[in-house]
Each structure stands twice: as structure tokens, then as C-alpha cells.
A and B are shown apart, each in its own frame.
Chain A
């Protein structure tokens, strides 16, 4: 039995032919960048400079330039770290989980979502390094034979697990992304008109010929990579959540954290994917590839995951009340009605209430509205991490050490600057690599089913050719 893709709602509109796909998607790579690209790239470079400046200042002067104190030892740094790791999760979810579920709408968005994963994890890792304050000892969590006696790392610590989880996640995502890129890099190589392009794309295409034997193996490894990436992505955010959940701090010490963090990660990641794609489809003119149906599907994911995190917030409250542990109860009352009440209610309204508008199809299919919503989701999810981290720490068991945390300008600069780093990488990506997976998109362009049967509809073939405009070769 062979797999036959049913002819369904068109995933690519505008009657595109294979050639059109190649031309449309390689256009930004082969032509001088547009004005919009230059504006975006320059702006993000400026913001990146701010990030470099603020981070360098932190390293030179020390962590004292941040608003941390003895009680609140983690604040913006870890909030930003969890925020960025969460953003990354949508890419793997789209490319791996949706591949396993045979959701073909993923095909025109998976490339850029995976790129987003990689860049978001780079941003996240930068916060891990900077929160150490002494980046030159950043290799200490790696179990190496060392000069301090035989002092190994503590394998009971979730922080050590996190080092393994994040680095595995980054490298496996990179491999997955690169393997997916090879056929498309070969396409660019074969179209190349300049020497430099021919050389570099030829170098990274690894001699790809499009042979069926290679394609066969390629499909096997894609499926396995998707199969291992799926539990990987779930494990990464579960382990991130254990950084908190295995401690004894009220508000952190809860078993609900792993699924709750994973849902939140998918929620925020899809928020970011929407932000990027709503812009990209306008600027790059990809409306026929990233259609309203794609936006609709993503908005549905946002709504479902937003409701899941909302349910987790309420469950936490209920469990705190039901547990009878007064510290736990206080932690939650303090979150909602204490000095950081504004952060809590921002989180609640952005993550639980706002996405409920997506019950309406009109809301799910209006691009500008989706863009606004995606920003709201990102703000909400950033505040979720802030609420979890700061409000739990600032008032725990010992009232004499209760205090407040106020971020400094430097911390804001690093947070804001990390968006510069992210968009800087993203703009380079859309200029130098095909931002839509051409090979996969070509495979879902309507064509007659080519299953294991003799074609009884040869009369359709002429129509088929006319539709593809493919009769006149090159």
C-alpha cells in the first residue's frame, strides 16, 4: 500500500507551478534586498548593538548592575531565558509533531519556524551565560575532569540536566533544520548565476542530486528525526520547569509544572510564529504559500494552548487552597493581590482571556488582528515567567528577608537587545536561505494522485499540464 495524499483544500493558492515555487522562494536570495529588508535589518542591528553594549557592561562591572538582591537572586535573566526557550518550541512542534500527525499545512511554515527555534535558543543560551556573571567559567556545568580535585558536577541537580537538555535541543534542531535545507540549497546551487553563490550553495548542498535512492533514505531519517524531536521538545521544557519544581520554594514546588510549561511554550512559540509570519507573508509576498488557512490553524493552536495554561493557573490556585499548606496559599494570594498584582493580572488577561476571541473565525482570519494578538500573547507569556520567578522568590518562608525587586535600565536593555539578536539572525536567514521549504511545498501542489494503480484518467493529463504551465520546459 502506498500513501496517497488526498486532494483537499488547497494548501498553496494562486495555481502555482513547480517553477513558480522555485522562482518565488529563491527571489529574495537572488536579488538585491528590498528597502523593507534593509530597514528591518538596520533596526535589528542597532538593537543588537544595544544588547552587545549592555551585556559587555554587565560582564565588565559585574552582576551588581542588575536589580538582583539576596532574596531575589533570579529575575529578568531567568525570565528571559525561559521566555526564549519557550518561543523556540513552536518550531519543533510544527516541524516534528505536525509531521508525525501528517499535517500538511506545516510545510510552508516549518522552515522559518525551525529557524526561529534555533535563533530563540541562541538568545536563551545567552541569558544562561550572562546570568552566571562570569562567562569565562561557563564551562563549569559540563562534567569535565578538572583541577579542583575530582569535583564532578552534581547529577542530582536539574540545572545540570538543563545544560544537557538545552545543548541537545539546540544541536538536534540544527541538524533537523540543515537536513531539511539540503534539497533546497541544491535548488539554489543549480540556479546560481554568480560564482560565489555557486560555490557556497554547492558546498553546503553536499552533492545532492535528487536521486530516488537518496530521497528514500531522506524520508526515513526525516521521520526518525521527527520521532525523536517530539519527546525531545517535551523533555526540554519539562526539564526547564524542574529547575523550579524540584525546589522547595512555595509557588515553585508543584508537580503541575512540566505539562504547564510545555503548553505555555507552545502557546508563546505560536505567538511568535504568528508575529513573524504575518509580517513575512506581506513583506516577502508569500500570501499564496502562507495562506489565511495557515493563520487560522495557528490561531486555533494559540487558543487551545492559551486555555490550557489558563487552566493551569486556576489549578495551581485550587491546589494551593486544597493542600492546606499556608506558605503555598500565601504565595498564590500574594501573586494575585500582593505588590506584583499588576504582573499577575497582565498574565491572566493576556494568556487566558485574550485568546478566547479566537472562537470567532473572523478573529482567526484577520491578519492585522492576529499580529496584535500575537504581541499580546508574547507579553503575557513573558509576564508568566516573571510572575512565577519573582513573586515566588520575593516573599518566601522568612518574612525578615522579604523584599522587592526592581529591574535596572541595563536589564531592560539586555531584554530589549535580545530581540535585536533574534531579528538580526532572522533577517540574515531570510536573505540567504530559502525561507519556505520548496521541496515539500512542491510535493503538495495539486497533482493527480500517483498511487500504486494505473491511471484511468489520462484525459486529465493535458489539463494537468496546462494547470502547471509545465509544458514548455526551460
Chain B
């Protein structure tokens, strides 16, 4: 398994250019490792062939977990474990379980899904960010081309990036 990647970076100052250059690179057979931007560029994920994230499935599963735990717990507590007669109200009364069940489903969904988000992105508190260019969280966009995986000729890559409007092109090694 490779431990590092050799990347050629094209730095852009405009999301439109970043978008079209990425598209052109991919159609000419280059392998775009990733694109870094200060905000989400809509449609770029599709161009890069990123599959739709399954975090929504995770969210649904967490919601179901919260829902079943809440129902089980309330039924266990108020019916099986210790019945209480409060104003003659029934001990097993499904409609009154709805609010708490709803709240707990939401709680589990939010926390579970966000935890999964951090896990799949390998994000955690205190992590050292391996940023391609310090300006990428400010106003610049970086297209990173993976040299090993690219099938097209690397000689013309520089020209292609510059033609797309790059303000600079450089090499970088990224430790994995």
C-alpha cells in the first residue's frame, strides 16, 4: 500500500475556473485526487465522480435506534417495571410516549450522524490539518492531480492547468 501521493497542484482564484478545469482534467484522463475550496462548489462532486454519501442512511438507522430505545424504555419503565397510578391514567398509554420518542429519535440522529461524519472524514479535535495551501480556507481553490494514477501524459498537464487560468502550479507530496 502506498504511503504517500505525488500531487501536482493547480491554484485558482475562481470557482468557475476550478470547475471547468477539473472537468477537463477528468475528461482528458487525469486522476483528480481532490479539489480544495473555501466553500462547497455545487456540482463539482458529481464531476469528480464522488458517490452520494451514505450518511443519510446512517442518519436513518440512528433515528430508528433512538426510536426503538425510547419506546422500549418507556414501556419497560411505566408498564413492566413499576406501574404507578397517577390520576387513574393508564400505565401503558402509547400516545403519551410520542413526544419523548420523537425527541430521542432526533437526538440520536443528530449525534450519530455527525459522529459518523467525523469518522469518515477522519476528523477529530486537535488533528493537525494537512492543508494544500494556506489560502484555501480564504480565497483560493486548489485542484490536486494524482500523478501516479493519471493515465494521460504528464508533460502537457502543466499547460492544461495554466490554460484553465491557474495562478500557480506546483508539486507536492502528501503523506497518507
A447 contacts which of B16, B103, B104 (Cβ < 8 Å)?
B16
A217 close to B117 (CB less than 8 A): yes
Chain-B contact segment, one of A39-47, A263-271, A294-302, A464-472: A464-472
B130 close to A207 (CB less than 8 A): yes
Known: A190-B138, A442-B39, A473-B140. A450 touches B102 (CB 8 A): no
- B98 to A, closest residue via Cβ: A161
B103 close to A451 (CB less than 8 A): no
B14 close to A461 (CB less than 8 A): yes
B36 contacts which of A3, A168, A210, A235 (Cβ < 8 Å)?
A210
Number of interface residues of A (CB under 8 A): 84
Taking CB atoms and an 8 Å cut-off, the chain A residues in 168-218 that contact chain B are: 168, 171-172, 175-176, 179, 182-183, 186-187, 189-191, 202-218
Q: How far is the CB of B13 from chain A (nearest CB, A)?
A: 4
With a cutoff of 8 Å between Cβ atoms, the chain B residues found around residue A228 in the complex are 59, 63, 106, 109-110
Chain-B contact segment, one of A146-154, A278-286, A322-330: A146-154
Report the Cα distance A302→B143, complex, angstroms: 45
* Interface contact tally, CB-CB below 8 A: 240
How extensive is the interface on chain B, given as a class? 35 or more
A470 contacts which of B120, B126, B136, B139 (Cβ < 8 Å)?
B139
Q: How far is the CB of B9 from chain A (nearest CB, A)?
A: 13
Q: How far is the CB of B58 from chain A (nearest CB, A)?
A: 9
A203 close to B126 (CB less than 8 A): yes
Q: How far is the CB of B43 from chain A (nearest CB, A)?
A: 3
B138 contacts which of A165, A187, A205, A231 (Cβ < 8 Å)?
A187
- B43 to A, closest residue via Cβ: A2
A220 close to B126 (CB less than 8 A): no
A211 contacts which of B34, B55, B78, B110 (Cβ < 8 Å)?
B34
B176 within 8 A of A: no
Known: A152-B81, A175-B110, A461-B14. A209 touches B74 (CB 8 A): no
Q: How far is the CB of A19 from chain B (nearest CB, A)?
A: 5
Q: Mark B133-176, 1 if CB is under 8 A from A, else 0.
A: 01111111000000000000000000000000101100000000
With a cutoff of 8 Å between Cβ atoms, the chain A residues found around residue B134 in the complex are 190
With a cutoff of 8 Å between Cβ atoms, the chain A residues found around residue B20 in the complex are 454-455
Report the Cα distance A160→B131, complex, angstroms: 47
A218 contacts which of B40, B77, B99 (Cβ < 8 Å)?
B40
Which of B36, B81, B117 has the largest count of A CB atoms less than 10 A from its CB?
Answer: B117
B16 close to A448 (CB less than 8 A): yes
A18 close to B82 (CB less than 8 A): no
A219 within 8 A of B: yes
B123 close to A208 (CB less than 8 A): yes
Known: A172-B106, A443-B40, A454-B20. A217 touches B121 (CB 8 A): yes
Q: Mark A14-48, 1 if CB is under 8 A from B, else 0.
A: 00011100100000000000000000000000000
A214 close to B121 (CB less than 8 A): yes
A428 within 8 A of B: no
With a cutoff of 8 Å between Cβ atoms, the chain A residues found around residue B82 in the complex are 149-152
With a cutoff of 8 Å between Cβ atoms, the chain A residues found around residue B45 in the complex are 212-213, 215-216
Tell me the dominant secondary structure on chain A's binding face.
helix
A207 close to B129 (CB less than 8 A): yes
A22 close to B139 (CB less than 8 A): yes
Report the Cα distance A468→B45, complex, angstroms: 24
B96 within 8 A of A: yes
Q: How far is the CB of B98 from chain A (nearest CB, A)?
A: 9
B125 contacts which of A172, A204, A439 (Cβ < 8 Å)?
A204
A209 contacts which of B40, B102, B125, B130 (Cβ < 8 Å)?
B130
Q: How far is the CB of A271 from chain B (nearest CB, A)?
A: 26
Report the Cα distance A152→B121, complex, angstroms: 41
B38 close to A207 (CB less than 8 A): no
B129 close to A164 (CB less than 8 A): no
A239 within 8 A of B: yes
B26 within 8 A of A: no
Q: Mark B13-49, 1 if CB is under 8 A from A, else 0.
A: 1111101100000000000001111111111111110
A217 close to B84 (CB less than 8 A): no
Report the Cα distance A171→B103, complex, angstroms: 11
A474 contacts which of B19, B89, B135 (Cβ < 8 Å)?
B135
Taking CB atoms and an 8 Å cut-off, the chain A residues in 220-234 that contact chain B are: 220-221, 224-225, 228, 231-232
Complex A-B, nearest 3 residue pairs according to Cβ-Cβ distance, in ascending order: A207-B127, A2-B43, A18-B139
> In the complex, given contacts A207-B124, A470-B14, what are 8 additional A-B residue pairs having Cβ atoms less than 8 angstroms apart?
A149-B82, A190-B134, A190-B135, A209-B129, A224-B59, A442-B139, A447-B16, A473-B13
Cross-chain pairs A/B with CB under 8 angstroms, 19 sampled: A2-B42, A152-B77, A152-B84, A157-B86, A164-B103, A179-B114, A202-B128, A204-B125, A208-B123, A210-B37, A211-B34, A213-B45, A215-B37, A221-B114, A232-B103, A461-B14, A471-B13, A473-B135, A473-B140
